[in-house]
Amino acid sequence: MMTKRERMLNLLAGKPVDRTPTGFWLHFPPECGHGEAAVRAHADFMKATDTDILKIMNENLLYGGSPIDRLQDLGKYRRFTRKDPLFQDQMEIIRRVVDAGRGEALSLATVHGLIASAFHATGYEGYYSQKGYALTLFCRERPQQMKDAFKMVAESLAELVDCSLEAGADGIFYAALGGERHLFTDEEFAEFVAPVEKELYGYIQSRTAFNVLHICKGNIALERYQDYRPKIVNWAVYENGVSLREGAERYFPGSILLGGYDDRSGVLVDGTEEQIAARCRELLQETEGLPFILGADCTLPTEIAYERIHQVVRSVERLAEESVLSR
């Protein structure tokens, strides 16, 4: 049997694996966002779930301390560097989490993407669904100023990528927002978002072969991300009505798929162990022949029982054993 690290390295290299890898993540309680509590939360999660990927969460958001909610505030956008306490704190968390993991699993450092970070800078973290449209309005009213702001955000994130990898992360989990049809039009996305974000994501790809493009939210125009060509891609299958196989064939040929289970409802959240196992079988059958990591659409509920995630891992292992025995 392969180790977690061997399994993922083989998958990334296009080589055979002994079974489908698994990867899940969630936001830990607020008191576990920093320091020893953050290290312990990651270690406890990996031990209890036995998943193949160690995703290191990031609660250090690019907020400068003063809200941006009017056109007159756009000058408050600024460049962040490794000298900022939030970068230093995130690097320390990554170092300690990686050290605690003893290299058993490949680690992914979370980098909130261009639009997510530009919104975090407004000071309204947690209210994107209600206030995210402000970025679109800012772009329409002050196009050049917002292009300059996006460039500053991207430069900050590129440095965070460097810091994360220097701190010991094996790869980068890039969380993209802005693909929603009801926010930016196709033309606006092509003008304001794509040029900066594609350059940033290209930089990530130049630094590590272990990169995940997570496309968050529903009503997404997935075609906007086709030419990002991510190594691993994850989107909200249930919110967007685009199956894993359809997404692979239509939008992301050649990318490794990550996902399968709904993140906020459905069998993984409230189903029985039998239903979790049955859905696991269905997903492995659906993705047969495709490079695949079994996971969820997005972050699972903070309060979910870790045993539920472990049930998925055990189901994958049993199905792999059945496959071997049936040959």
**What pLDDT was estimated at residue 325?**
47
**What pLDDT was estimated at residue 119?**
98
**What pLDDT was estimated at residue 322?**
87
**What pLDDT was estimated at residue 310?**
98
Closest by CA position to 175, among listed 147, 228, 213, 211: 213
Is the entire prediction scored with pTM above 0.95?
A: yes
- The angle at the Cα of 99, spanning 172 to 59, to the nearest 5 degrees, equals 50
**What pLDDT was estimated at residue 76?**
97
Residues 6+ apart with CB under 8 A from 145: 74, 75, 138
d(CA 32, CA 58): 11
Q: Are strands 106-112 and 211-215 parallel, antiparallel or unpaired?
A: unpaired
C-alpha pair distances (Å), 132 with each of 89, 148, 220, 240: 27, 19, 14, 19
d(CA 214, CA 219): 15
**What pLDDT was estimated at residue 323?**
75
**What pLDDT was estimated at residue 327?**
42
**What pLDDT was estimated at residue 296?**
98
Residue ranges in the chain modelled with pLDDT below 70: 324-327
